[in-house]
Amino acid sequence: MINLFVKGGPIMYPLLICSIIALTVIIERAIFWIGEDHRRNQALINDVLSLAEMGDWEAVRARIGDSKDFIVRILVAGILHREFSMSKAMETAASDEIDRMGQYLPILDTIITVSPLLGIFGTVIGIILSFEMLGSAGIEEPQAVTAGIAQALITTASGLGIAILSLFPYNYFNSRMEKATANIEKYATSLEIVYEKLNQSNNNAEKGQIP
């Protein structure tokens, strides 16, 4: 590997930096999603919706405790601002959570785009140098030219390898974001419906008490 790296020329150094950054982002995001999976609490979400349906907000506060579930945090934001704008509060909280989930992914996307371009750039430079060698050495030493072209292609292979190996985790992390967004919309809508039903029931009860 060290021999190939040296043969690839100076473009291998920015490609090495790209690979290190990509690996760092992939590991960080993998740890992030593992942590989010451990913090998920479906039973707590169901309890919050059930208690909200009864209008027992104090019980909701006591039941939540110090939950780290991102959906619970969004529901809590809506409950805390239910008298003003529940939907806007949950929309703001959801935006913050989605931004947190997508952190560093633009960097990975940039590396997926740039790495093959750097590889091609290295190959073009290598071919230019090979033709310069051909012009100076002549056709009497073709092995020098072919060796130079082979070395130049190392950068293209390296750039493509970095992009391909980064693309799979990038798509996976994006799919996790899309799934999380769908779940947020599902439970936020459920809470809004529950709250509307509760308000309607309270309004009907008040009308029934009017003589």
Q: Which tens digits make up the pLDDT trace of 40-64?
A: 989 999 998 888 888 888 888 888 8
Least confident of 28-32, 51-55, 101-105, 203-207: 203-207
- How far apart are the C-alpha atoms of 42 and 64, rounded to whole Å? 12
Domain assignment present for residue 91? The answer is yes
Total residues belonging to the chain: 211
Domain assignment present for residue 67? The answer is yes
What is the residue range of 176's domain?
A: 8-205
pLDDT at position 144 is 61
Domain assignment present for residue 120? The answer is yes
To 10 degrees, the CA torsion angle through 77, 82, 87, 89?
-40
Domain assignment present for residue 129? The answer is yes
Least confident of 73-77, 131-135, 157-161, 176-180: 131-135
In three-state secondary structure terms, 75 is helix
Q: Read off the pLDDT of residues 79-104 as tens digits, 9 standing for 90 and up.
A: 888 888 888 999 999 999 999 999 99
Domain assignment present for residue 181? The answer is yes
Three-state SS across 84-132? CCHHHHHHHHHHHHHHHHCCCHHHHHHHHHHHHHHHHHHHHHHHHHHHH
Which of 196 and 210 is assigned the larger pLDDT? 196
Query: If you average pLDDT over residues 70-85, what whole number do you get?
Result: 89
Domain assignment present for residue 113? The answer is yes
Domain assignment present for residue 74? The answer is yes
Confidence of residue 175 (pLDDT cuts 50, 70, 90): very high
The domain total for the chain is 1
Q: Is the pLDDT of residue 25 over 80?
A: yes
pLDDT at position 136 is 65
Q: What percent of the chain has pLDDT over 70?
A: 87
Q: Is the pLDDT of residue 168 over 80?
A: yes
Domain assignment present for residue 211? The answer is no
Q: In degrees rounded to 5, what are phi and psi of residue 84?
A: -110, -70
pLDDT at position 211 is 46
